[in-house]
Amino acid sequence: APYREHNRTSLTKEKLKQGFLDNLYFIQGKFPTLASRNDYYLALAYTIRDRMLHRWISTATNYYESGARTVCYLSAEFLMGPHLGNNLVNMGIFGMVKEVVEELGLNFEELLAQEEEPGLGNGGLGRLAACFIDSLATLEIPALGYGIRYEFGIFEQTIVDGWQMEKTDKWLRNGNPWEVPRPEWAQEVRLGGHTEQYTDENGRLRVRWVPAKIVLGIPYDTPILGYRTNTANTLRLWKSEAPESFDFEVFNRGDYYGAVDQKVTSENISKVLYPNDEQLSGKQLRLEQQYFFVSCSLRDMLRVLAIQNIPLSRFHEKFAVQLNDTHPAIAVAELMRLLLDEYLVDWDDAWEITQRTFAYTNHTLLPEALEQWPLPLFASVLPRHLEIIFEINSRFLDEVRIKFLGDEARLARLSLINEGGERYVRMAHLACVGSHAINGVAELHSELLKQDVLKDFYELWPEKFRNKTNGVTPRRWMILSNPSLASLVSDRIGNGWVRDLEQLRQLEPMADDADFRKEWWDVKRANKVAFAQYIFKRTGILVDPESMFDFQVKRIHEYKRQHLNVLHIISLYRRLKENPNLEVPPRTFLFGGKAAPGYHTAKRMIKLITSVGEVINRDPDIRDRIKVVFVPNFNVTTGQKIYPAADLSEQISTAGKEASGTGNMKFSMNGALTIGTLDGANVEIREEVGAENFFLFGLTADEVYALRASGYHPYDYYNTNPHLKDVIDLLRGGSFSRGDADLFRGLTDGLLHHDPYLLFADFQSYVDCQEEVSRAYLDRDHWTRMSILNAVRSGKFSSDRSIRQYCEDIWKAEPVPITLLG
Ligand code: 26Q
């Protein structure tokens, strides 16, 4: 068995150490006295990568030979977080490698922290994709993640004078040891230009697309290990480049600078991740990005089909392609185009293959967030696709006409083209029509899709609609981030729970065991101490680990209602000032999250949080009782420190607005209690952990709907609720803006006169519920009991469960266990 003995693949401590020093010498070209921390990190990363390659190659060979059905997860975002620690956990060598590193006199934590996280996503949707590819590998499902290798990921956030500042994310500056470029599998992508009709040699009328430019997509592959399996799947991200030959043509015409210019334009396509909540219209580059990675990915699948000698007619049997939201929905038109124009397949056969290939996941309930592209822009980037979309639409509307005779309004609502004024292509409609399955990401969300956002499609094709409640990987979000909790659990029930999270329920009886509760509390306490040190280092604010750590971390958005949290904080502050004898436990309110750079209200919400914090944290009467902290730059890395240190998780979106949420699951798994509305997956978390272990407040989605229908008047709440009035008046008077009554005028006026997310309607219920939380925290035993029950009843929220359901119900994909070569 040559590979098992090999210096670069063996998992013995001695060989690991040898490999590490070899890599420092032969890859970094350094010896210990001159090596930087980054040299050591890279040497270590390569040592681990060496040991992954054998599994990766074995996996590829096994898949090739089995010809197995393959899941392709198409996503514009993969928010992976750092690879090193996760790979060590999944390979089962975390402890051994830590020892090796420490025996060499190095600081292991420091080396792990040296990795720049690949932040190739905005938030929930991108992180979900990352959890899903972890679970796919762990369940030994043949799968690839396809996406874009952005040169700049999500911006880095700093806070200056209480405001968010953005810095570009240069995650590749020190090199990326986890990826392997595969230039031999590059794909050409056409863009722009026009179409022409011609008659082929058989006398048939055909269409030719004459593009204005061609760019190259270079795949960069990253191995994705399963947890203690031999499987190493692939994340394949495309980087755009200028094709040599195309450059050359321009060069020949004597236009050297034009050629260089072309090169720059080509490279721009994969340059930067777009933030969500950005005004879309006119963002040609974003449409080009979407088409670029989709086209590369579909052509890559066709390449695999060809080398495996599988006929084109069986494309949908070989590949199950999941569309992560509408960002890759252009795939429907692109597969049609490839089949029709390049492989000369008939329309009906092409359409059948297409529909049987794709499935679509929706991630939003905000109608304004549904992607639509202005027709002129679409026509100029993808002229042939627009023709195909018109043809799909015309055939589709014929079908609707037969089913709903004479219902013209319905036709207009269902059409792939929004014709009300400016014309747009509706990407969600394209995804629905081109897919055999459509799913939401939590029970409530899937129901609301059927009743509301996609109602017309549901009435047309009820059989296409599914629910697949989101999940998160316990490998990153428990084992790696909260090792003390993980070993407390494994000490009692072994480690079967890591692959089968429902096993945590075996610990339910331990909630009544005082010794176990003490150990549980101590773990939480130690995590809080560590986080308090982190806060001090990052913000200079001292917080008391004895206080309740109350977190709201997520993208900053009005519908997520960080400002409702702030209104409660102001109300509590006011009550404590008025009545210093109030018995409330000390609490640290922590916020984290990025605002889209162009979303001005969200940026002002950050300023609101930091401004209220500044007043409270300085107030000598209050600062030992409550503190307000904004943790800068919330991302995967900081998340891994946050969830284990949380007592309370704020999930307070307006009911009916948050599709699922996944942070809510990470908190609960780590023993935080939730204060939340009946929104997204909160509903299911409450079902699982028990209503008595969950702090519920606020209107239900139905009540929200009814209130809006009957006319919502936020000003009436202000007038009739003196507590609310006091809070708003303090804000309006400048108490938290050093007398500047204008700083938050826009926010308060918006609430008083519009309040689209019903903060005022939920205010009193929220404040009352927070009082209940405070009372509960005073009873440490009872709180710990609830904390334990939250964690051990969160088995449903493993992404392994989600992926099993996708495999069974949508993808029809089965495990292929990997035998290692050699
Ligand atoms: C679209 C067009 C142009 C530029 C950017 C975008 C864009 C990018 C990202 C739009 C939306 C997103 C991200 C959405 C997202 O993260 N949604 C969240 O998905 C989670 C996983 O299902 C859910 O848990 C959250 O409820 C949902 O908000």
| 790: enclosing H helix or E strand | helix 780-792
Torsion angle (degrees, nearest 10) of CA 270, 273, 276, 282 = -40
pTM (2 d.p.): 0.98
Ligand 1: residue whose CA is nearest its atom 13: 125
pLDDT tens, residue by residue, 313-325: 999 999 999 999 9
CA separation for the pair 464, 95 (Å, rounded) = 46
Does 109 share its domain with 242? no
Q: Is 820 inside a domain boundary?
A: no
What 3-state class would DSSP assign to 8?
Answer: coil
Asked whether residue 342 carries a pLDDT value surpassing 70, the answer given is yes
58 & 138 share domain: no
* Residue 327 and residue 371 in contact, taking contact as beta carbons nearer than 8 Å: yes
pLDDT given for residue 248 in this prediction: 55
Detail the DSSP E strand segments found in 490-580: 548-553
Tell me the average pLDDT of the chain.
96
Chain length of the chain: 822
Could you list the active site residues?
A: 363, 554-555, 560, 662, 666
Shared domain for 510 and 561, answered yes or no, is: yes
349-364: pLDDT as tens digits:
999 999 999 999 999 9
Residue nearest to atom 1 of ligand 1 (CA): 276
- Cα 190–195–198 angle (5° rounding)? 120
Cα 298 to Cα 335: distance, rounded to the nearest angstrom: 7
pLDDT at 368: 86
CB 565 within 8 A of CB 650: yes
Instruction: Find the 319 Cα to ligand 1 centroid distance in Å.
Output: 25
Query: What spacing in Å lies between the alpha carbon of 277 and ligand 1's midpoint?
Result: 9
Q: Where are the alpha helices (DSSP H) in 27-68?
A: 37-66
Residue 713 Cα distances to 285, 710, 753, angstroms: 41, 10, 7
Q: How far apart are CA 389 and CA 404, in angstroms?
A: 22
Number of domains in the chain: 3
pLDDT tens-place string over residues 373-395: 999 999 999 999 999 999 999 99
- Distance in Å, CA 269 to ligand 1 centroid: 20
Q: Give the other-Cβ count within 10 Å of 82's Cβ.
A: 22
Position 8 confidence tier, pLDDT thresholds 50, 70, 90: confident
Q: Flag whether 452 is in a domain.
A: yes
pLDDT tens, residue by residue, 282-309: 699 999 999 999 999 999 999 999 999 9
Question: 115-155: per-residue pLDDT in tens?
Answer: 999 999 999 999 999 999 999 999 999 999 999 999 999 99
Cβ within 8 Å of residue 237, ≥6 positions away? 78, 120, 146, 147, 148, 149, 179, 219, 220, 222
User: Residues lining ligand 1, judged by CB closer than 6 Å?
Assistant: 122-125, 128, 274, 276, 278, 280, 286, 363, 371, 441, 470, 658-662, 680
Expressed in percent and rounded to 5, the helix, strand and coil fractions of the chain are 55, 15, 30
Our measurement of the distance from residue 37's CA atom to the centroid of its chain's CA atoms, rounded to an integer in Å, reads: 30
Q: What's the rounded Cα separation, in Å, for the pair 166 and 602? A: 14
- 818 part of a folded domain: no
Residue 135 in domain: yes
User: By the 8 A CB rule, do 595 and 164 touch?
Assistant: yes
Q: Assess whether 396 and 429 both reside in one domain.
A: yes
Show the domain range for 50: 1-66+83-116
Within this chain, do residues 354 and 295 fall inside the same structural domain, yes or no?
A: yes
In this structure, are 242 and 321 located in the same domain? Answer: yes
Q: Are residues 322 and 262 in the same domain?
A: yes
pLDDT for the residue numbered 6: 75
Q: 675-708: b or e for each residue (b if 16 or more CB lie within 10 Å)?
A: bbbbbbbbbbbbebbeeebbbbbbbbbeebbeee
Q: Select from 122, 125, 555 the residue to mutate for testing ligand 1; criterion: most ligand atoms less than 8 Å from CB.
A: 125
Copy the structure tokens of residue 42.
Answer: 């890279």
Query: Residue 254: beta bridge partners?
Result: none
What number is the average pLDDT over the span 787-799?
Answer: 98
Are 309 and 448 in a shared domain? yes
Q: Are residues 387 and 527 in the same domain?
A: no
Q: Are residues 355 and 384 in the same domain?
A: yes
What is the CA(462)–ligand 1 centre distance, in A? 25
The interface predicted TM-score (ipTM) is: 0.99
Dump strand ranges (E) for 375-434: 417-418, 424-426
Q: 639-669: b or e for each residue (b if 16 or more CB lie within 10 Å)? A: bbbbbbbbbbbbbbbbbbbbbbbbbbbbbbb
Distance CA 504, CA 506 (A): 5
The reply to whether 458 and 508 lie within a common domain is no
Q: Tell me: the pLDDT tens digits for 684-711?
A: 999 999 999 999 999 999 999 999 999 9
Examine the domain organization and report whether 511 and 434 are in the same domain.
no
